[in-house]
Amino acid sequence: MEGLITFLPMILIFVVFYFLLIRPQNKRQKQVRQMQNELSRGDSIVTIGGLHGVVQKVDDMTVTLKSGNAQLTFNRSAVAEVTKKSTTVMDDETVE
């Protein structure tokens, strides 16, 4: 019984860390992975480097963006957020 009382504060600290730090971080990582897997042509996105662009092509591991007159290819993991989802894609135009 005395050994349990000795380790009780350490166990409580671990439980608090789990609910305040580890669990919310895992939920956020899951949301980011889901967002990156749901990318589609016509979505306006921001990369982790701060580049704003529109998705032109989506492959298994890469995303091709159009930003200004340039077309750039990034890994899916470089997408930080989707700022605007496309509603309908027709040929080369995006209808919002």
- Residues 16-71 pLDDT 10s: 999 999 999 999 999 999 999 999 999 999 999 999 999 999 999 999 999 999 99
Distance CA 77, CA 37 (A): 9
CA distances from 12 to 7, 18, 20, 27, 45 (A): 9, 10, 12, 22, 41
**pLDDT level of residue 6 (50, 70, 90 thresholds):** confident
Query: What fold characterizes domain 2-84?
Result: SH3 type barrels. (2.30.30)
Q: CB of 64 within 8 A of CB of 57?
A: yes
**pLDDT level of residue 3 (50, 70, 90 thresholds):** confident
Pairing of strands 79-84, 88-90: unpaired
Does the global pTM surpass 0.85? Answer: no
Count Cβ atoms below 10 Å from residue 37 Cβ, excluding itself.
9
